[in-house]
Structure 1
């Protein structure tokens, strides 16, 4: 576990990748928040929060999404969910999806992201796969690294892109509200999939099935 502090200055150039205007993004989010609204609430510096959330040390709006519905679901509800030694399906607690829905967004402008996909991408920010693969216990450290990367890619970096931990063939991303123009994302005409409904739970179970998981009864 590389619990070392970031260097004062980077010695390599972080990899820039463009997210083209018109790209579809899939977001699992609270039903209380508009589909394209950035989360304005900083995480605690030490407790709770997500991998690349804002904190009081670096406050910004943030929005996580996947480039596929499966990536969005995997990143949001399969956190630290162990496999059953007896071979049974992994059970996703109902609390993990309570009050949540999946919405489809579209980018309206080209967005420049820091790529954290390959070993070379990660080495360019003095890191390895730990940064995008470690579990929640290390998120205070990954948030600190995110703030350092933001500082040294300002003003061009509008977010990060990486391989989903739960579905490595798919891509997950985070966008930063303070670096994206207003209305950089819009909700599409696709109806949100509300996990509080029977249809939403059925849809979610169908997505979870290939991951040997399902909603708990």
Structure 2
């Protein structure tokens, strides 16, 4: 089955579980008006390319929360964007994007069962390949429909996990509020979290370390 298509209904396959252990530190970069463990309630229209890869649709509403298994991966997934200039294509962290965001760490109190979208084999069980987790935002209207159908097929799942596009050594994940409520989380205090936003103090230093290590401009 070609991957870049509207998913069949019902979706046929055998989604593979990924067991995320309790107490594993997870990092989230979030808007300063939203709490670290608050889920995003915004549902997207079928043609909307704003937002994230697997956001809820207006036809399948649920709260969702994106996170990563390291600070580096969270920065890459949330803040790094491609930029074009006369010298070519590069990666950039826009300073203005730091002013309204915060970073923090949390962990689940119990083990979580996520749908494994990490490997080629696990993606193949639902008729997909790396396009689903690595495509550009212009394809998000399609990837969100796949998410909705995966949720229906894997009614045991509490979220999704996949290999980060910006940091291939790390994993990005999304949790479903209706299957993984906020009270299941515990916040891990950090110095970076104490600042008003990513533009200040220890959080800003963390962003600069990431940028230097990855050759990303800020």
Question: TM-score normalised to the size of structure 2?
Answer: 0.90
| Contact map agreement 2:95 2:199 (CA 8 A) in 1 | no
Distance across 1 between alignment mates of 2:19 and 2:189: 24
| Contact map agreement 2:3 2:127 (CA 8 A) in 1 | no
1:195 counterpart residue number:
198
Give deviations 1:85-140, integer Å, cap 9, x for gaps: 74897432223223101101111111100000111110111111000000111001
Provide the secondary structure at the position in 2 that maps to 1:73: helix
- 1:34, distance to aligned residue in structure 2 (A): 0.8
Distance across 2 between alignment mates of 1:179 and 1:206: 35
| Contact map agreement 1:12 1:124 (CA 8 A) in 2 | yes
Q: Root-mean-square deviation (CA), in Å?
A: 2.0
Q: 1:190 to 1:12 in 2, by over 3 A?
A: same
Q: Which moved more, 1:191-200 or 1:82-91?
A: 82-91
Q: Which moved more, 1:141-150 or 1:186-195?
A: 186-195
- 1:43, distance to aligned residue in structure 2 (A): 2.5
2:63 counterpart residue number:
61
Alignment of structure 1 residues 1-217 onto 2, 5 Å? 2-47=3-48, 48-79=50-81, 81-82=82-83, 86=87, 90-154=91-155, 156-191=156-191, 192=193, 194-215=197-218
Give deviations 1:164-208, integer Å, cap 9, x for gaps: 001111111000001114412221122415313144323211112
| Contact map agreement 2:4 2:131 (CA 8 A) in 1 | no
| Contact map agreement 1:84 1:90 (CA 8 A) in 2 | no
Figure out how many residues of one structure are paired with residues of the other and give that number: 213
Distance across 2 between alignment mates of 1:111 and 1:25: 12
Distance across 2 between alignment mates of 1:24 and 1:111: 13
Structure 2: stretches of 5+ with no match in the other structure = none
Provide the secondary structure at the position in 1 that maps to 2:26: strand
